[in-house]
Amino acid sequence: MPTGIDKVDIAICDRLQRDGRLSNVKLAQQVALSEASCWRRQKRLEECGVIEGYQAILNRKKLGLGVMAFVQISCTDHSEEATAKFESIIASAPQVLSCHNTTGEADFLLQVVARDLDSYSRFVEKVLRALPGVSSIRSNLSLREMKTTNRLPASEILSI
């Protein structure tokens, strides 16, 4: 387990992942702590960066974002300058939900949402094809989303 993090901290994190609006009173009850102790632990987890923030989880389809694409990007230019520009453009593109520098055939794997195929096509043309040093763009469109979560598995953390 990471240094300074114990089973109670993991229990707090697990409960907050499930319900970020959980009151301190209910959270303290669920992890068998006093309210003050629970509040102090939660603040410490926030301050050390284990808890990065709180947000609502939105249903992309109900908000009209019907296309989910997984995009593999290969680059020919791996210089610091090209990589910094690539990262800056990707970081500022709201359609990109995540971007990972990966091993394998592609250099980067992106998760991208769009309203429809026309919107996705415009994103590819205006943003992805304008990226510096890109040699290949491969898109895989999601036909059906079977599972999506941002919750980290407490059981894996506890087994470390």
DSSP string, 118-145: HHHHHHHHHTGGGSTTEEEEEEEE-S--
Give per-residue pLDDT as tens, 6-39: 999 999 999 999 999 999 999 999 999 999 999 9
Where residue 157 falls among pLDDT bands split at 50, 70, 90? confident
Domain containing residue 116: 67-141
Pair (52, 78) in one structural domain: no
Report how many domains make up the chain: 2
Asked if residue 48 has pLDDT above 90, the reply is: yes
Is residue 148 assigned to a domain? no
The pTM (predicted TM-score) of the whole model is: 0.86
| Bridge partner residues of 72 (DSSP) | 109, 138
Same domain, 104 and 124: yes
CATH for 30? 1.10.10.10
Residue 160 domain flag = no
User: Is residue 83 in some structural domain?
Assistant: yes
67-119 pLDDT, tens digit each: 999 999 999 988 899 999 999 999 999 999 999 999 999 999 999 999 999 99
Q: Does residue 28 form part of some domain?
A: yes
The CATH number linked to 82 is 3.30.70.920
19 plus 78 within the same structural domain: no
- What pLDDT does 160 receive? 58
pLDDT for residue 1 is more than 70 = no
Kindly state the tokens that stand for 88: 């800056």
In a domain, 119, yes or no: yes
How far does CA 37 lie from the centroid of its chain? 29
The SS3 call for residue 37 is helix
Name the burial class of residue 118, with classes exposed (0-12), middle (13-18) and buried (19+) by CB atoms within 10 angstroms of its CB. exposed
pLDDT score at 4: 82
Q: Is the pLDDT of residue 59 over 70?
A: yes
Distance in angstroms (rounded) separating the CA atoms of residues 112 and 83: 19
